[in-house]
Amino acid sequence: MQYMLLIYSDENTWTEREREQCYADSVQLTQQLKATGQYLAAAPLQSIVTATSIRVRDGKRLVTDGPFAETREQLGGYFLIDAPDLDEAMQIAERIPSARKGTVEIRPVVMLSGLPS
C-alpha cells in the first residue's frame, strides 16, 4: 500500500541553517527507507511565492499567482512510501525531520490501473 506523507509548516519560521539541516537529515531518511524497501519518492518544494495555480473553466485556462489556498502553514514537501498498514506509515511519518517543526499528513494513495510503470 502506498501512502503520501504531506509535510506542512509555516515556511517563514525556517532559518537557512535549519532548512539545510532538514534537507540533509531528510536525504538520510530516504536512504534508510530505500534500504528497507519503503522508499518511493520524496522532495521538498520551493516557497509558495513561486506557486502558480491553474483552473480550466468552460474550456478556458485561468491562471493565478500563489498557492491554491492562503493558509498559515503551507505544503512544503512530501514523501511517497510503501507500507503494509497505517501503523507503519505513522512510524515512518514520525521519523521525518520536519515533523518536529510542522505537521505530517498521511494520505493513503488510490492505486489506479493503467498508469505507466
Query: Which residue ranges make up the site for another protein (CB under 8 A)?
Result: 1, 84-87, 90, 106, 108
What are the phi and psi torsion angles at 36 (to 5°)?
-100, 10
Which of residues 10 and 105 has its CB atom nearest to another protein in the complex?
105
The grid coordinates listed for 88 are: 507503519
Neighbours of 51 (CB within 10 A): 15
The grid coordinates listed for 92 are: 515512518
Distance CA 117, CA 73 (A): 33
Q: Shortest gap between Cβ of 89 and another protein (angstroms)?
A: 8
Distance CA 79, CA 43 (A): 7
Q: Shortest gap between Cβ of 106 and another protein (angstroms)?
A: 8
State whether residue 93 is helix, strand or coil.
Answer: helix
Q: Shortest gap between Cβ of 36 and another protein (angstroms)?
A: 15
Which of residues 1 and 43 has its CB atom nearest to another protein in the complex?
1
Which of residues 24 and 86 has its CB atom nearest to another protein in the complex?
86
Which of residues 73 and 85 has its CB atom nearest to another protein in the complex?
85
- Contact in structure between 9 and 45 (CB atoms under 8 Å): no
Q: Shortest gap between Cβ of 62 and another protein (angstroms)?
A: 32
